[in-house]
Structure 1
Amino acid sequence: MTSFRISRRAAVAGALALALGGAGVALAQAPAFFRIGTGGTAGTYYPIGGLIANAISGQDGKGVPGVVATAVASNGSVANVNAIGGGASESGFTQSDVAYWAYTGTGLFEGRPKVQDLRVIATLYPETVHLVARKDANIKSVADLKGKRVSVDEPGSGTIVDARLILGAYGLTEKDIKAEYLKPGPASERLKDGGLDAYFFVGGYPTGAVSELATSTAIALVPIAGPEADKLLSQYQFFAKDTVPAEVYRGVAETPTISVNAQWVTSAKQPEDLVYRITKALWSPDTRKLLDGGHAKGKQIRPETATTGLGIPLHPGAEKFYREAGVLK
């Protein structure tokens, strides 16, 4: 956390120096603040957001001159989409399913105003559905969650949406479990202390909260597979089959599951040139080094998959870059 704060201050200082570098142009070149709503600090969104924020901030001749980007912890996908729609944030990370529902006014956003200005900067990486259980809880299937103490994440997160869909595919609702509403960090602590049997988490593996838990507590990942999962995949096209390899988490065997895409989204109201320059900085060689070396999931953030599984339109600035780069034809 300390190193991130230091780098963020460096980003601010660098951008301000650029803005004030020429006499008489300080006001004309005032820094543009670009927040990135992420998720809980124990998940994957937060560290990835920190890497990207540092990469695109204009400092040391790198990033986007005049831009100060910051990664902001939040309640996750739904909260980030709402913040963008309400003008409280310039951008944020979200699951592709949540973005689609917000844009179309369906699913979780049924009966609510559509977030029609929502636009994609990039598809980032697959987000794996984790169903983490204490090994001694003897939970072999989602169906075994009946009567168990299970956290489905906080209201406003993308995880809680998918947890409800998965429970439903196996004939369960929140009324069939002893539901709690915790982020992965607190959920891990509760499971470790014996106060929880299992919890849902959607995010790129390995995630810090689960990795840390596995070093002190015998855990298992519950498979999300079989005819119930197949029906879920056919019903919701934003889901895809996925597998968590063996020993990604200590002592945990290879586990079949499902995933959605993590996306970086913004508003159509953000200037085209600004988003073009931010997108260009995202795929620069300097950013590549930060992503590859900064987090295991960073290696999966690739330009060739940046426009896959979108569900909603690209921002015109991002689209311009991808066409120039040959990613889009």
Structure 2
Amino acid sequence: MKVGHWTAAALLVAAACTAGAWGLGAFGTAAAQELTLFRIGTGSIGGTYYPIAGLVAQAISNPSGNCERGETCGVPGLVAVAQSSSGSVTNVKDIAAGRIESGFVQSDVAFWAYSGTEAFRDEGRQGNLRAIANLYPESFHIVVRRDSGIGSVADLLGKRVALDEVGSGTLVGAQLVLNAFGLTDDTIHVAYLKSDDAIERLVAGDLDAFFLVAGYPAKVIQWANENTEIDLVPISGPEISTLVEGNPFLHIDEIPAGVYDGVSGVKTVSVAAQWITRDDVSAETVYGILQSLWRGDARRLLDRGHAKGRVIRLETALEGIGIPLHDGALRFYREIGLTRRSDASR
């Protein structure tokens, strides 16, 4: 068996659980199939990466190797799992080091890692990273208590603000926004907390604001909204226009009113969530994964499973990707006539 860092026994248990989720009910069949583990690094359980990766994992897994009519038919023998993590930066490092097979990563973080710039200037170039697909936009959220008196980014001066934990894409995104307004660790009281912990402290009144870069609606923000009165802070103004002009991976965005019950809509910025892997992952596996991901049955699964699942579309699968495609992905997209200019000579 190809078990990576998992033991054979643990992988068979995962296969049995996955088989049960599909109603296969035949552990013996799953056990007989040669199994390949394919981990998808995500973020905190309360964010958006984790539930979306769970849907993707369901769409591409097929531990039994069978495919009955009406089922979601994944890659025979593949057991895909969503694995929680600190976020984009950690996922990149784990993928590059071979600790996981793939992960969801912000487009800016993926480019910085591949080019060895910005957040990865000290780490150096991670040249073995490869793209599978662009997924959906991730919106920058600044969540505050409604009684905080915070109505703009500039109002964060002197406040207690959580920027997510070290290793997250939210942290590097939050620092970009704060720097654009001249705010630093010396001018705000910074806490490095994962979103689940930040939410609890906000609700308890021990925190004034927290950043989250995620596709909306984010589960942790919904939970906060159910337990205290919250607002979203707009991320806009000439400072943000300048920031977007200097960082092409950023886009002007909007979180509509009503995404979070009773919370007004705000202007903000976004980056793209992308699915990346490593160059030595089997081309046949990646090719099969994309065949499964873009099937009609997987489409129904994504559409029904999460609001951002509906935004994951084949026609935008190559948008904004700043690193090379994996060979298996390149083969798949070429066969269906979807290509990028940068791939023409490959």
TM-score range, shorter chain: over 0.9
Amino acid of the residue matched to residue 10 of structure 1? G
Q: Which residue of 1 aligns with 2:36?
A: 32
Select which of 287, 291, 298 maps to 1:276: 287
Q: Which residue of 1 aligns with 2:215?
A: 204
Moved over 4 A (4+): 4-7, 11-16
Q: Which residue of 2 aligns with 1:17?
A: 29
Structure 1: how far apart are the matches of 2:80 and 2:265?
37
Number of residue pairs matched?
318
Q: Secondary structure at the match of 2:288?
A: helix
Mapped contact 1:39–1:77 kept (Cα < 8 A): yes
Q: Secondary structure at the match of 2:286?
A: helix
Q: Which residue of 1 aligns with 2:77?
A: 66
> Residues 57-206 of structure 1 correspond to what in structure 2 (within 5 A)?
57-58=61-62, 59=64, 60-61=66-67, 62-206=73-217
Structure 2: how far apart are the matches of 1:72 and 1:172?
33
Q: In the TM superposition, what whole-angstrom CA distance separates every residue of 1:292-327 from its partner, at most 9, and x where no partner exists?
A: 011111000000111000011111111111121222
Structure 1: how far apart are the matches of 2:26 and 2:300?
20
Select which of 243, 264, 267 maps to 2:254: 243
1:6 Cα offset (Å): 8.1
My pick for the range that moved more, 280-289 or 89-98, is: 280-289
1:9 Cα offset (Å): 5.4
1:10 Cα offset (Å): 3.2
Structure 2: how far apart are the matches of 1:308 and 1:77?
18
Q: Which residue of 1 aligns with 2:298?
A: 287
Amino acid of the residue matched to residue 50 of structure 2? Y
Amino acid of the residue matched to residue 29 of structure 2? A
Mapped contact 1:15–1:68 kept (Cα < 8 A): no
Amino acid of the residue matched to residue 188 of structure 1? I
Q: Which residue of 1 aligns with 2:51?
A: 47
1:16 Cα offset (Å): 6.9
> Residues 215-234 of structure 1 correspond to what in structure 2 (within 5 A)?
215-234=226-245
My pick for the range that moved more, 297-306 or 7-16, is: 7-16
Taking a change above 3 Å as real, the CA distance of residues 16 and 176 of structure 1, as seen in their structure-2 partners, is farther
Matched, 1:8 2:18: yes
Q: Which residue of 2 aligns with 1:304?
A: 315
Q: Which residue of 1 aligns with 2:336?
A: 325
Q: Secondary structure at the match of 1:124?
A: strand
Q: Secondary structure at the match of 2:170?
A: helix
Taking a change above 3 Å as real, the CA distance of residues 13 and 228 of structure 1, as seen in their structure-2 partners, is farther
Structure 1: give runs of 5+ residues left out of the alignment: 21-28
Taking a change above 3 Å as real, the CA distance of residues 285 and 292 of structure 1, as seen in their structure-2 partners, is same
Give the fraction of aligned pairs with identical amino acids, expressed as a percent.
51
Structure 2: how far apart are the matches of 1:110 and 1:213?
36
Structure 2: how far apart are the matches of 1:290 and 1:43?
19
Q: Secondary structure at the match of 1:176?
A: coil
Structure 2: how far apart are the matches of 1:196 and 1:213?
12
Taking a change above 3 Å as real, the CA distance of residues 5 and 147 of structure 1, as seen in their structure-2 partners, is farther
Q: TM-score, normalised by structure 2?
A: 0.88
Structure 1: how far apart are the matches of 2:99 and 2:20?
24
Amino acid of the residue matched to residue 34 of structure 2? A
Structure 2: give runs of 5+ residues left out of the alignment: 1-13, 68-72, 341-346
1:252 Cα offset (Å): 1.2
Taking a change above 3 Å as real, the CA distance of residues 15 and 121 of structure 1, as seen in their structure-2 partners, is farther
Structure 2: how far apart are the matches of 1:138 and 1:131?
13
Structure 1: how far apart are the matches of 2:245 and 2:268?
15
Structure 1: how far apart are the matches of 2:39 and 2:166?
22
